[in-house]
Amino acid sequence: MRPVLLVALTLLGVACQDADVSRAVGARCDQSSECDDRCLTPSGDWPGGFCTLDCDRDDDCPADAACVREDSGGVCAFLCVTDPGCTFLGAGYGCKERDPIVETDPKVLVCRG
């Protein structure tokens, strides 16, 4: 199989996988006590609320997430390739380009409202 085709098929497979939703990253929430670290309360950006971890770099997040910039610093959000890759989080989520916490890194695609 050609290397480019193999990479494309691999990325497509990643886009269709469900990430591990947990109290650490991805569970719905209304307040931080429902999460391991903090809750991004329900809003247009985080439909249904979103448990997340504060982060300073990608290594602070689970393997299927990246550290992206929010108003209050870095938070972990699930990586994606296309909108269908975010359906496991529920209605209102899509694959959006966001700034990474490390300003020299290129923008990343993460699941977000």
pLDDT averaged over 10-residue windows placed end to end, the chain, 113 residues: 36 50 95 96 96 96 95 93 96 96 90 96
The count of domains in the chain is 1
Residue 12 domain boundaries:
3-112
Q: What is the pLDDT of residue 12?
A: 40
DSSP string of the chain? --HHHHHHHHHHHHHHSPP--BTTTB---SSGGGSSSEEE-SSSSSTT-EEE-EESSGGGS-TTEEEEEETTEEEEEEB-SSGGGGGGG-TT-EEEEE-BSSTTSPPEEEEE-
> What pTM was computed for the model?
0.81
